[in-house]
Structure 1
């Protein structure tokens, strides 16, 4: 069932040899855009955290005016294997309206047991158990502070 804030689909992969954490932002669906307007750009910001400390952020190109944007963008972060127990990824779905501020539409956090439970934890653990393999899943977006 679709969630209140929409859903996002992405793949995770960890290359233990190179120490690279790869995120492929695929698409989102059912987003609750604040304006019914073609001037609305929707993009995803992916942030790598370690011990709740911000490490690095990357963002997709904005897709205009769609509650179901498709991205297919790949981001790679350097992450040592020893950091995977304390690292987490936050994916924020944001919308920018021409000449106005950016609004957060929702977010999802994936990572180890320290930060997540349920599907988000399963996705992270599956990524670790299948090195170099892209693990693709849908996640419901949560209200974002």
Structure 2
């Protein structure tokens, strides 16, 4: 596994069984590095003060977790400055 470059967290959504996160994260990556980068996305849940539990995850980039994720990353690399939005299914933790 490679080096972690950056980490971001959404704000906490308390008491919402199906929270919606409309947040944007920006990661600065040089164009020549895009083929060597993997973006890991993990979703966690914490009930009361218990440990957080991972609900699911996915990966985009060099070590994509599936074909759809790899295609999304490729489309983003080729899009220039255009935003490329896709829905992804989380893999079980």
- Check whether TM > 0.5: yes
Correspondence 1:78-117 to 2 at 5 A:
78-112=28-62, 115-116=63-64, 117=66
Count of aligned positions: 92
Select 1:127's aligned residue among 76, 87, 91.
76
Q: Give the structure 2 partner of residue 63 of structure 1.
A: 13
Q: Structure 1: which 5+ residue stretches go unaligned? A: 1-50
Partners of 1:120 and 1:65 lie apart in 2 by: 30
Q: Structure 2: which 5+ residue stretches go unaligned? A: none
Partners of 2:15 and 2:80 lie apart in 1 by: 36
Partners of 1:136 and 1:67 lie apart in 2 by: 24
- The structural deviation recorded for 1:66 is 3.1
- How well do the aligned residues superpose, as a CA RMSD in angstroms? 1.4
